Amino acid sequence: MRGSWYGIPLQERERIYARQSLETAALRRYIYGLLPLRRTARIIEPGCGTGLVLSEVSLLTDAALYGYDRDAGALAKAESRIPGLNAVECDIERHPLSRADIVLLSHVLLELEDAPAFMAKLAGLMEPGGRLAVLGEYDWRAAATSRGDRVLEAAVRRMEEDGLDTSIAGGIPGLIAGAGLRLLHFGSIRACSRIDPLFLASLYLNGKPLDESIETPTFEGTMSLPVVWAVAGR
């Protein structure tokens, strides 16, 4: 996996995670209603972070929960939130993952080195009749700020220079089909919030400024990001 959450203190990352979670809370509740959470034995979330998603899901199911992440600090937070969580510190693209009835993905596709291969890997882990839910992925190609300035442009440009596919969200149906899964539900919402300078600065820059010409006081206004979601079946 790529990405540069390393170098951003866990406390600050938690704040970013919490903001993202709040922006899409209603969407997640809707998606949970599309999943057989009460009739499933095992749920996995690759890239679970601090466990915000799995903590919600734990209230809706008796299934065994597995969380995978390369960040030991984030995993420790997830374990403190979710009693009985099977937490595994690893690179999700290279480490074996458990078989699952439901696979949850939240803001993780952008950071993958090989998204098609990873989606095929997940499809191979799913039990017959299983479900894969993309709970949210930002579509950076359609992002905008209220000021229309260079802050967002600089972030997206650097992401692409680092080899990240900023159009990955729009490609989710193709990823699902390429993995041999059936697209059952698909859509998007637009999340709006105040510009978060640390979030933008964390976009694969290890916390360094986006551009020497962009000073911290210019991070004002609002940011609008489409959030793409999907549910697929095997």
Dihedral sign of CA atoms 113, 34, 75, 42 in order: negative
pLDDT, tens digit (0-9, with 9 covering 90-100), for 120-142: 999 999 999 999 999 999 998 88
Mean pLDDT of the chain: 85
Residue 83 lies in a domain: yes
- What Rg do the C-alpha atoms of the chain give, in angstroms? 17
Report, as an integer, the average pLDDT of 207-212: 50
Query: Is there a domain that residue 156 lies in?
Result: no
Establish if 220 belongs to a structural domain: no
CATH number of the domain that 66 lies in? 3.40.50.150
pTM beyond 0.75, yes or no: yes
How many domains, the chain? 1
Residue 131 within a domain? yes
Q: How confident is the model at residue 159 (pLDDT cuts 50, 70, 90)?
A: confident
Q: Could you tell me whether strands 182-194 and 222-233 are parallel, antiparallel, or unpaired per DSSP bridges?
A: antiparallel
Contact between residue 21 and residue 222 where contact means Cβ atoms under 8 Å apart: no
Identify whether 157 is part of a domain: no
Domain around 59? 10-140+167-192+225-233
Q: Is the pLDDT of residue 149 over 70?
A: no
